[in-house]
Structure 1
Amino acid sequence: MAEFGTFLYENWMLFAALVVILGLLLHQTMGGSSGSVSPQEATRLINHEDARILDVREPSEVKGGTLRGAITIPLGQLDDRLSELGEDRETPIICYCRSGSRSAQACGKLRKQGFSAVHNLQGGITAWQQAGLPLARGKDRKKKG
C-alpha cells in the first residue's frame, strides 16, 4: 500500500488527469451532456413521438425563424416560465438555441425539474439549417390545432 501512495505522490499529474476524465465521464453518464439528437433524429421525434420543441434563444435571434411549433422561452426566463411546457413530464422535449450550448443548459434545468425525455438539438438551429430542414417565419411559427 505504501508503494501505491508513493506512486500517486510521484505521478500526481497523471492521477489528477484520471480524476478529471472520470468526472467528465460521470457527468455525461448522469445526463449532463447526454440526450443530444441530430436534426434528423429530432425530426423523427417531432413527427412520430409528438415531441415538444423549446427554443431558448433571445427574442432578437428568433426573428430569423424558428422550428415550426416551437415554444420560445429565453434561457434566462426558463425557471420562471416552466408552466408553459405543461404538466406532462414524459413527452419528449427538444431544446435548441443557435449552436447547442444554451440549450444544453436548458436540458439540465428541465431534467432537474423532473422532465424525463429531454433532448438537446446537436449543433442547434445552425445544424438544422445546414441539414436543409425548414424554418417557420411569421404566422407559420406556431403549430395549428
Structure 2
Amino acid sequence: MLEQFIEFFTTHWLLSSVWVVLFLLLIKTESARGGAAVSPSQMTQMINNDHAKVVDIRTKDEFRAGHLPNALHIPAKDMHKRMSELESLKDTPLILICKTGTTAGATGAVLAKAGFNKLHKLRGGILEWQGSNLPLVRD
C-alpha cells in the first residue's frame, strides 16, 4: 500500500503537491475558525487593556469548580439558545474558555456566523490557565 502511494506521488507529483497545499490550507483555516488562540498572558493583557470579556463555555459543574473572575457562563450546548445575552458585546473582544481549548473553536464558529467579529479562544483552555498558576474563583 505504501509503495503504491509513493509511486502515485512520484508519478503525479504536481497533482499530489496541489492536494498537500490544499490540505495544509484547510488545516490553517479550520484552526483559525472561531477566533485566534491566545496564551494566558495575552488574555490577561486583553482583559486589562482592551476590556475583553471572558465567556466560559464549560459545564455548570466545571464552572463551579473554578473559573476566572467576572467570566460569563454560557455552556457550549446552550450557546444557540442564550446567544442573545451576548448581543451587546458583538464589537467587544470575547475570549472563549473551555476545558482544554478544543471546544472553543466550534463555539467561536457559531458566534462568528452570528456576526461576532472579535473572537479569541484561550489556548489550552482552563487547564493551561491553571498550569500557569493563575487565579480562579469558586462559587
In the superposition, the TM-score normalised over structure 2's length comes to 0.82
Q: Tell me, yes or no, if the aligned pair for 2:34 and 2:120 is still in contact at 8 Å.
A: no
* Higher normalized helix content (fraction of residues): 2
Q: Which amino acid aligns with 1:49?
A: D
> What CA distance in whole angstroms lies between the structure 2 residues aligned with 1:65 and 1:26?
32
C-alpha deviation, 1:19, in angstroms: 2.4
> What CA distance in whole angstroms lies between the structure 2 residues aligned with 1:14 and 1:47?
45
Q: 2:24 is matched with which residue? A: 21
* Residue 120, structure 1, aligned to residue 89, structure 2: no
Q: 1:44 is matched with which residue? A: 45
Higher relative contact order (CA 8 A, sep 6+): 2
> What CA distance in whole angstroms lies between the structure 1 residues aligned with 2:42 and 2:94?
12
> What CA distance in whole angstroms lies between the structure 1 residues aligned with 2:64 and 2:36?
27
In the superposition, the TM-score normalised over structure 1's length comes to 0.79
Q: Tell me, yes or no, if the aligned pair for 1:8 and 1:15 is still in contact at 8 Å.
A: no
Identity within the alignment, %: 32
C-alpha deviation, 1:16, in angstroms: 2.9
> What CA distance in whole angstroms lies between the structure 2 residues aligned with 1:74 and 1:102?
11
> What CA distance in whole angstroms lies between the structure 1 residues aligned with 2:99 and 2:30?
23
Q: 1:10 is matched with which residue? A: 12
How well do the aligned residues superpose, as a CA RMSD in angstroms? 2.2
Q: 2:131 is matched with which residue? A: 130
Q: How many residues align?
A: 130
> What CA distance in whole angstroms lies between the structure 2 residues aligned with 1:104 and 1:27?
9
- Summarize the alignment of residues 1-145 of structure 1 with structure 2, pairs less than 5 Å apart: 10-11=12-13, 12-28=15-31, 31-32=32-33, 34-138=35-139
C-alpha deviation, 1:102, in angstroms: 0.9
C-alpha deviation, 1:50, in angstroms: 1.3
> What CA distance in whole angstroms lies between the structure 1 residues aligned with 2:77 and 2:123?
20
